[in-house]
A = this chain, B = another copy of it.
Amino acid sequence: MQINSHPGELTMINIISQPRIRNDTMDTLSSRIQNGDVPAVCRSCEARHGGVCSALTPAQLVELSKHSSRRTIDAGTEFIGQGESISSYSNILKGVVKLSKVMADGRQQIVGLQFAPDFMGRPFLGESRMAAEAAIDTEICVFPRRAIERLIAETPGLEHLLHSQALKELDEARDWMLTLGRKTAQEKVASFLALIASHSDPEAEEKSMFELPLSRADIADFLGLTIETVSRQMTKLRKEGIIQIENNRHVTVPDLGRLVAAAGND
């Protein structure tokens, strides 16, 4: 099937216009590669194994890498706006991205966090239903929309991978609905800490240490609470000995079991 039958104006990638994003092209690198080889830029990429690129052949990687570019996004930079047209997809190489929705009066809800090597973008939809913002300094690999959609059409394995990720995100979203709808403030905060712990240290059984990727304000927006309530509940968990906090962001969990129990997860 032909994909790009009607050439027209490209809707602008707004991240390009943001001053704080650096962007180095890969063309020089990929042009040196012989056909069939994995592009040099991809070789060192963590996302190539867990991410969408793992479904691609070396030849497809070469082709895709010609049109893709890495970007570094500083913490706090919004790189996709709610309602904005989507002209690119990307893989997260490093960092954490928050997906959020805002109401007309400014109330905000974070509806998802994405970590490396997640794929970002909403296939088959022209316009983003939420904003994407780097929670901490983040690196992404950006692909033009058309290139990805062509690859999806010709690579069933890729669609399967994206389908699986969509289902995983759906599971996570529904888990979070239970948290938002039915848990107390303390359980919400504990749930959030347990979520971050499981991402920064998936193997850990008992003890865990990590840097919070989100500010108190972000945590509040993720949990449907206010900053003050988040702070109070963190203090409460600290006083109960379930967590230790240093420098606001550094958290130690001596006993994950107690944290999970405080989160209300069986």
Task: Knowing A87-B8, A166-B170, say if A181 contacts B224 (CB, 8 Å).
Answer: yes
Provided the pairs A170-B169, A177-B176 are in contact, do residues A9 and B10 lie with their beta carbons within 8 angstroms?
yes
Q: How far is the CA of A152 from the CA of B15 in the complex (A)?
A: 9
Check A109/B178 contact, CB under 8 A, given A9-B4, A123-B167, A144-B6.
Answer: yes
Query: Known: A15-B1, A224-B182. Contact between A174 and B129, CB under 8 A?
Result: yes
Residue of B nearest to A171 (CB): B129
Tell me how far the C-beta of A14 lies from the nearest C-beta in chain B, rounded to whole angstroms: 5
Q: How many copies does the complex hold?
A: 2
A39-47, A157-165, A196-204, A245-253 - interface stretch = A157-165
Closest to A104 in B: B266
- Interface band, chain A: 35 or more
The answer, yes or no, to whether A19 is at the interface (CB within 8 Å) is no
Q: Does A28 contact B (CB under 8 A)?
A: no
Residue A26, interface by CB 8 Å = no
Point out the residues of chain B lying under 8 angstroms from A166, CB to CB: 163, 166-167, 170
Instruction: Give A7 to B130 CA distance when docked, in angstroms.
Output: 25
Residues of B within 8 A of A99 (CB): 174
Q: B16 and A224: CB pair below 8 A?
A: no
Cα of A181 to Cα of B223 in the assembled complex, Å:
7
The answer on a CB contact under 8 Å between A111 and B177 is: yes
B16 lies within 8 A of A12 (CB): no
Which chain B residues lie closer than 8 Å to A174 at the CB level?
Answer: 99, 101, 111-112, 129-130, 173
Contact at A10–B15, with CB atoms within 8 Å? no
A window 104-128: CB within 8 A of B: 104-105, 107-109, 111-112, 122-126
Check A11 for interface membership: any CB of B closer than 8 A. Answer: yes
Contacts of A109 in B (CB 8 A): 177-178, 181-182
Smallest CB gap from A2: residue in B: B16
Known A-B contacts A11-B126, A177-B173, A181-B223; the reply to A103 vs B6 at CB < 8 A is: no
Binding site for B on A (CB under 8 A): 1, 3-17, 23, 25, 86-87, 99, 101, 103-105, 107-109, 111-112, 122-126, 129-130, 144-146, 149-150, 152-153, 156, 159-160, 162-164, 166-167, 169-171, 173-178, 180-183, 223-224, 264, 266
* 4 additional contacts (CB under 8 A) given A4-B9, A8-B146, A14-B124: A104-B264, A166-B166, A170-B173, A173-B177
A-B interface, 9 closest residue pairs, ranked by CB to CB distance from nearest: A181-B224, A8-B10, A12-B126, A173-B173, A163-B163, A111-B174, A180-B180, A109-B178, A166-B166
